[in-house]
Structure 1
Amino acid sequence: MSSPIIITKRFYYFLPILVILFSCSDKGMEPEKDDELAPTPFNLLEIPNNTIEVELMPSFSWQIATDPDGEKIRYDFILDTKALPTEILKSNLSEANFTVTSSLELNTKYYWKVIAKDESMNTTESEVFNFTTIEALPNEAPENFNLLTVEDNSLDVPLKPSFTWEVANDPENDVVSYDFYLGTEAETITKIASDLDQPSFTMSSDLSYNTTYYWTVVAKDDKDNFTETEIYSFITELMPSGVDVPFAIVDEPPIYPGCEDSNDKKECFTQKIVALIDDNLVYPSSALENGIEGRVNCVFTISTTGAVTNIRVRGPDQSLENEAIRILNLLPNMIPGKQNGEVVNVPYGIPITFKLE
């Protein structure tokens, strides 16, 4: 008899090993700080997109960008002739504007944008705008020039004076001509000669006696550009009431009191008047307060009776003129001048200079 067969069952048990990893660092448990925010979007303002006929040194502006983290904003200004501009013309601008300091090219299309950046170098770019510069430089007016004669504040000017002025040069060498203006009121002077090709003009008819006139000149080129001078004034000569002989050429000059025995009566006359002016001049307070100084041209006549008459003055300020008149009214009676043995009126002129020390 054969032995019985015994079958043995073996059971195997597998226990999963759970490995739990714990971080020992507290840092990883903190929420991540949000400090990577870029500046807010912003728009370009000036120059608007697709603008044409832009000057060669334009100014640009854009909206102010703000930073969510409160960081300071700086701007990079990009200007290029490429549709995708990359050339930084100016970096780290603190203001939302920029003006070109070197002339751009004529008739050229430019593209521009701005990059706003914060202190963490987070950036926000604007859109790209374009503009086109002017096709050609504008034609310029003639250069400034000065009046020469008749000089400003002149006295005893002849009734048919000749006027002259400097040549006005034109930057483009355009042909320049002149218009001449003259009148008795500065605000309403009238054009009395046009298209003069020389820097001079002579009156063909007499002006009025003892009258204040104002004159100016306008230089113009053939492109209708013009430049005007300042306005000068003058007073014409007195209407003759007898024979007048200028002090410089009269045979026997008027004799100032105290000069009777002088060998050079003309020189003594002048010295006495200068001394009277020096001894009596009082600087007007209003002129002092306003810093006004200058020369007052004075003319008066020693008449056939020896009296000082026809006092006329012209200067930069009314207060200075009034003081000059006051002093001249202090002049004494004199022995009248003579020409060819006959008593004559003798005009005499002297400047009185007011100068602040």
Structure 2
Amino acid sequence: QVAISSQAWKFVKNFNDEFKKYLTINYNGDGCVIIESGKIPDNVFNIEKKNSRNNSVKKEPNFDKDLYNKWRYYVNVSALHKMESGVSNLVEFNELRKVTTVFVRLTQIKFNNKEDLQIAQEALSAVQRILAVQEGTLRQFLYDDKGAVILLYFGIPPYSHNNDALNGIESALQICSNLKRILDDFTIGVGTGMTWVGGIGNKIRSDYSVVGDSVNMAARLMMKAKKGTIYCDETTYSLSRDSVQFEDIGLMEVKGKANSIKVYQPIKLKSRITDERVPGNTEDDIELIGREKEISIIKRELIEYDRNGNNKTIIVEGDEGLGLIPLEDKLINESKKLKFNI
């Protein structure tokens, strides 16, 4: 059954006659209209039957390119990614992914004056700037019984990283720092776990969504967090504790969980130089084996900078586990010897 207010009924009551014969419509004494439907054939909605033999064939996008360029900025980036690859029905494509969810609650915004709208715009812009760097996805900005809420995801297409939990925590810390310049009252919740990611709806209308216990957990932690703080679950903590300093909040009861859960508060990122170096080494006694070529390039670039004074950008990149951090430390130490700012 569907209950519709009498005001809304005025706008939707003129059903197609072919469609109306499958409905039972009753006028409720409380001012509502109750609609109950029987089995409605697909052809009433003009839905084409799916041809399973062609499921694996990639299709070219069937939308007008000029129109697409106008509305692409208003479409969820994950859905857009699928559409650009030729997917015409989002519901057919779904997957299980480990995703980190971040909820940001702007508690003091009530949208009852012009200033609130300006603050909300500044807050959202601050979040978007961080997402552009961290490659997260802005899913929603909404206002409901929880207040003004921003919903973010890390790890959904087209973005994915080795450690999206760490990306989520780093972003949350940066968001926390930025928001303190804009407003006083906000809270952030972070949760990580396996989620169902894909289209919800039907071929005519669908939405790209993320569903899972960790999404609900992030929302619960957002509501539990103290003013101006971030709370995260144990999974997020376990995946990011090597790079982030946390405070153990202890056990906490949350809605939807029979047992209390462990909650942590991220405080700040650890310094990679001081926290990740092998104990006993000092800045001047780092010995790198098999990195003679890279060290030679670093020294050459620094000497050239010393001579010419032109700014330099040196990028150290490679797969995880190849010893990039010691090489970065070497670059920093060599720069300090020459009294360069880095």
TM-score with structure 2 setting the length: 0.21
Greater Rg by CA: 1
Compare the two structures and name the one with the higher strand fraction. Answer: 1
Compare the two structures and name the one with the higher helix fraction. Answer: 2
